Amino acid sequence: MRIITANLNGIRSAATKGFFTWLNRQRADVVCIQETKAQEWQLTDPVFHPAKFECHYHDAVKKGYSGTALFTRHTPQKIIHGLGIDWIDQEGRYLEAQFGNLSVISLYLPSGSSGEIRQEYKYRMMDAFLPHLQKLRAQNRSVVICGDWNIAHTEADIRNWRGNKKNSGFLPEERTWLSELFDKHGYCDAFRQLPQKEHEYTWWSQRGQARANNVGWRIDYQITSDDLAEQVQRTRVYRDKMFSDHAPLIIDYDFSIEP
């Protein structure tokens, strides 16, 4: 089973840059997208509903902002739009597809880089999201949470870690929250289940020559329940073409969706 996650920083912009042409060649079973920055009624062009996929969108109330999507080759038993928490759901940050006992989730955790108000919003969502993650594990569901978590977990996940210790996305409180998710709550970072080269990142600032010089952050993850940790077969960050300021993360697993 192949799962792709990609923050597109605008699905319409990514389409003009060839994202869907590339996607059609990837043989993905599930595709999780973040930052669609569009309302579903604006996406009537067939390009946004690629053949062989069922396409599900969860829009933000605010036009041109946030939003998540899920494309799947298999029909889910259930689609869940949001967490049932209004102040989160109005930003379109959570979309879940259930296939039997498996949940595949497209998640867009907020950034706090614009200032104190959004950083507090980010902490508030982290606090609200953790009980939901615990509930999924208590139900013994197998879970793959794909998306932009806006946190670089360790020094290996950010090129300039010394200069970013006090910046949103690499704050001690954020990193500790991820560590506790992995150490105490039954989740793992699928990317790190296999040996990786140094300096593998998924996001680069659009300032200067950050992408050309690979001065990046790894903030896009596929985080799975522990029962899937040994099912990771192959990981890849696709960088050949630039669809947004993020790169797609592709992971192959040794399990399949039951019909």
| Residue 95 φ/ψ region, left for φ over 0, alpha for ψ in the -120 to 50 degree band, beta for the rest | beta
Q: Is 150 annotated as a binding residue?
A: yes
Q: Which of 56, 58, 153, 246 is catalytic?
A: 246
- 238: annotated active-site residue: no
- Spell 2-14 as b/e; 16+ CB within 10 A means b: bbbbbbbbbbbeb
Alpha helix stretches (DSSP H) within the chain = 11-16, 19-23, 86-89, 116-138, 172-184
| DSSP letter (8 states) at residue 165 | T
Q: How far is CA 190 from CA 16, 45, 48, 168, 233, in A?
A: 30, 34, 28, 23, 10
Q: Which of 29, 59, 148, 220 is catalytic?
A: 148
Q: Is 59 annotated as a binding residue?
A: no
Q: Is 164 annotated as a binding residue?
A: no
Other CB atoms closer than 10 Å to residue 159's CB: what's the count? 20
Q: Which of 29, 57, 59, 108 is catalytic?
A: 108
Rounded CA separation 193/187 (Å): 12
- Spell 92-116 as b/e; 16+ CB within 10 A means b: bbbbbbebeebbbbbbbbbbbeeee
Q: Is 140 annotated as a binding residue?
A: no
- 227: annotated active-site residue: no
Q: Is 214 annotated as a binding residue?
A: no
- Order of strands across the sheet that contains 94-99: 78-81, 94-99, 102-108, 142-148, 220-225, 187-189
- 89: annotated active-site residue: no
Residue numbering of the annotated binding site: 7, 35, 148, 150, 245-246
User: Which are the catalytic amino acids?
Assistant: 108, 148, 246
Annotated binding site for Mg(2+): 7, 35, 148, 150, 245-246
